[in-house]
Amino acid sequence: MTQPRAVLWDLDGTLADSRDFHWRSWRDTMAEAGVVVTEAQFLASFGQRNDAIIPAWLGDRATPELVRQLGDSKEARYRTLISAEGIIPLPGAVEWVRRLHTDGWLQAIASSAPTLNVELMARVLGLTDSMAALIGAEDVRLGKPDPEVFLVAAAALGVQPECCVVVEDAAAGIEAARRAGMSCIATDRLVSS
């Protein structure tokens, strides 16, 4: 009997290019807090959890309450943009998800994004029926490059780590897959970033 196999998808940059939505949300949220964030600072933080990003940008002003408030505000703004404007999947992403589903692969989204974002994007992209699990920031304690998000996703699917393939675009995510003992496919966006 063969072991079940799974594909664990990062979300942002692998299934859809949400970079502009995140950039606009961060820029405007932080500007309202009196903090100017450059696009270079934003790009350096891409793929990390909010509780790691915001304190780095606030410095001494960071308090747990302010970090949570700014993170919640940014994510609400992000979801509003996605809901209003929609989001286009990256070329071939939806086709691969559907083909793998048809071929019997278990699949999950394993993201550093808040669960509400993961659920919204899966729904807007039309991927909900192909995903057996949706794992977001609230499901783990540590962000990438820690392997926890991928290990939690594998456990949710009932698949051993060595039988998982991660699809990722960020260096932190690739390192997380390596630490989890999983194979990893890096998208070409990583090369061009």
Q: Which residue numbers are catalytic?
A: 10, 12
- Cβ 191 vs Cβ 45: under 8 Å: no
CA 53 to chain centre: 14
Q: How far apart, in whole angstroms, are the C-alpha atoms of residue 156 and residue 143?
A: 17
**Which amino acid does the sequence have at 103?**
D
Task: Map tokens 């063969």 to a residue.
Answer: 2
3 state SS of 186: strand
**Which amino acid does the sequence have at 136?**
G
* HSE-up (13 A, CA, CB side) for residue 174: 12
Pure H helices in the chain: 19-32, 39-45, 50-58, 64-85, 93-102, 115-125, 148-157, 171-180, 188-192
Q: What are phi and psi of 74, to 5 degrees?
A: -60, -45
